A and B are shown apart, each in its own frame.
Chain A
């Protein structure tokens, strides 16, 4: 195994490393991937990615269907481990701590680095219990008062409190799709996470609702670091400060959003942002 010239991390076996355009390193990273590769069986989904994510910053991972966005995102809190068909090589560091090191408490990790799947799902319990769920199972609220504070604050942060204040004990049934998204975001926020991972956060929403959710996601950076996958460059540009572009599992370019969208450095990024045939 050879050392990676930039990160010093061991390169994945049998994986050719590419140097992406832009700067994959961040001056103040909260999460760092070093030579990260993900395989489904023998098939590589993500190949030798070196990339870091800034603290209190929104970063968008962009690419076509099958580019490896979801596999990369789900590797950041070891969700890929849930299915044995997937194999991960390389390192992911959270505040310098290797998430794949032996002895890491994976459940505790997933409360610090929370994944929100594309499809928001409310549990069959009250609005209050939905939001309190994660905080409860992780033992984050020592008493009822603290739990209520977390639920109220999270609903307010998610912009849902005014809509549901009169029905906290009622079922979330009947909530509009946008409200359902906000409920799931509130559930994640109740964990007071360090990093929020969003899979296509506006999927299935009409443009107005999507714009409001984008606004919310953008604003969450004051509370935590946000990493999201999107297919739309326009959305990435509106929400994120930094964009990483993946193509066929490789990190092709990472840069400040305004630069990547107007003057992409790599021809594949150019082809993708302009909608040309790559």
Chain B
């Protein structure tokens, strides 16, 4: 992606990077829709919508294949370096992250279908907690795609840092499920599905966080994949004022 870095002497290279970025952003929008519809099918017990999510997963995989092929072509033909190399690698890895987001959304939709068929209503006990998690995960995806589009390192750091809130929600929801089981062991089948659902949402948050760290690598050239999210700003030497400004 060349935004913010000036144009290449070779314009067709810029266009290739833009096309690649376009495929990634389109795939990102579809992944967000999958997460949104997958959780909606769960809350609204909408079997038709859940079926749509399962079927649309093929499109996510197609984007992944197309994006990866395009990225490999760019590397082979252009042998990019510096920020261009980082951009292509980041996009390549982001395709994989989004493909996994698609897998998790499909997983949620399939659980929703099972529950509808089995006439289970697991969500009531934990509905609010799961809903909060789903909204937070979707928000992280929206924001990380904006960070990619705008090459906004500060926004990416915020997304990565916010993942800890999702982790807290996940632990709270897990505890609530366990507590519910103690008082009502007959809820075990429902609880098992519920654990799978919150785990899937938590993983979606992780994929958004991974992509956010990739954006930091792309923009700042620093590999922060293994830096704890809460230490990101510190590791990048960003002051509170800069963070606020960003």
Interface residues of A (CB under 8 A from B): 233-234, 237, 261-264, 269-271, 273-277
Is B126 located at the chain interface by the 8 A CB criterion?
no
In the complex, which residue of chain B has the Cβ closest to the Cβ of A232? B79
* 17 cross-chain CB contacts under 8 A: A261-B82, A262-B82, A263-B82, A263-B221, A264-B81, A264-B82, A269-B82, A271-B6, A273-B81, A273-B82, A274-B80, A275-B8, A275-B10, A275-B13, A276-B2, A276-B6, A277-B6
Write the nearest CB–CB distance from A65 to chain B, whole angstroms. 13
Q: Does B9 contact A (CB under 8 A)?
A: yes
B13→A262 contact, CB < 8 A: no
Q: Say yes or no: is B83 at the interface (Cβ < 8 Å to chain A).
A: yes
CB distance from A274 to the nearest CB of B (A): 5
Contact of B7 among A237, A262, A277 (CB under 8 A): A277
Interface mask (B71-90 → A, CB under 8 Å = 1, otherwise 0): 00000000111111110000
Q: Does B226 contact A (CB under 8 A)?
A: no
Contacts of A273 in B (CB 8 A): 81-82
User: Is the pair B6, A262 in contact by a Cβ cutoff of 8 Å?
Assistant: no
* Inter-chain contacts of A270 with B (CB < 8 A): 5, 82-83
Complexed CA–CA distance, A261 and B8 (Å)? 17
The answer to whether B7 and A276 have CB atoms under 8 Å apart is yes
Interface contacts (Cβ under 8 Å), in number, total 47
Measured CB to CB, the nearest residue on chain B to A269 is: B82
Q: By DSSP majority rule, is chain B's interface helix, strand, loop, or mixed?
A: loop
Interface size of B by Cβ–Cβ distance < 8 Å?
A: 18
Are the C-beta atoms of A276 and B5 separated by less than 8 Å?
yes
The distance in angstroms between the C-alpha atoms of A106 and B47, with both chains bound, is: 87
* B 1-33 binary contact with A (CB < 8 Å = 1; else 0): 010011111100100000000000000000000
**Chain A residues near B81 (CB, 8 Å)?**
233-234, 237, 261-262, 264, 273-274
Question: Whole-angstrom distance between the alpha carbons of A262 and B223 in the complex?
Answer: 11
Q: Mark B37-72, 1 if CB is under 8 A from A, else 0.
A: 000000000000000000000000000000000000
Are B9 and A276 in contact (CB-based, < 8 A)?
yes
Interface-central residue, A233, A262, A270, A276, by most chain B CB under 10 Å: A276
Give bound CA distance, A275 to B17, whole Å: 13
Q: A234-B79, A277-B6, A277-B7 are in contact. List 13 more A-B contacts (CB 8 A).
A: A261-B82, A261-B85, A262-B82, A262-B221, A263-B222, A269-B82, A270-B83, A273-B82, A274-B83, A274-B84, A276-B2, A276-B9, A277-B8
Let me know if B7 and A274 touch, CB within 8 A. Answer: no
A236 smallest CB distance to B (angstroms):
10
Find residues 82-136 in chain B having any chain A CB closer than 8 Å to their own CB. 82-86
Interchain nearest-CB distance for B110 vs A (Å): 41
In the complex, which residues of chain B have a beta carbon less than 8 angstroms from the beta carbon of A261? 81-82, 85
Return the chain A residue nearest B220 by Cβ: A263
What is the chain A residue whose CB lies nearest that of B10? Answer: A275
List of A residues within 8 angstroms of B221 by Cβ: 262-263
Q: Which residues of the partner chain A approach B83 to less than 8 Å between Cβ atoms?
A: 270, 274
Please indicate which of the listed interface residues B6, B9, B81 has the most CB atoms of chain A within 10 Å of its own CB: B81
- Of all chain A residues, the one with the shortest Cβ separation from B78 is A275
Which of chain A's residues have a CB closer than 8 A to the CB of B5?
270, 274, 276
Q: Is the CB of A277 within 8 A of B9?
A: yes
Chain A residue contacts of B6, Cβ below 8 A: 271, 276-277
Q: Tell me which residues across on chain A come within 8 A of B8, comparing CB atoms.
A: 274-277
User: Chain B residues near A233 (CB, 8 Å)?
Assistant: 81
When chains A and B are docked, how far (Å) is the Cα of A270 from the Cα of B85? 11
Contacts of B86 in A (CB 8 A): 262-263
Which residues of chain B have C-beta atoms less than 8 A from A276's C-beta?
Answer: 2, 5-9
| A275 contact set on B, CB distance < 8 A | 8-10, 13, 84
A233 to chain B, nearest CB (A): 6
Q: Which of A237, A262, A273: most chain B CB closer than 10 A?
A: A262
Q: Bound state CA distance, A273 and B79, in angstroms?
A: 10
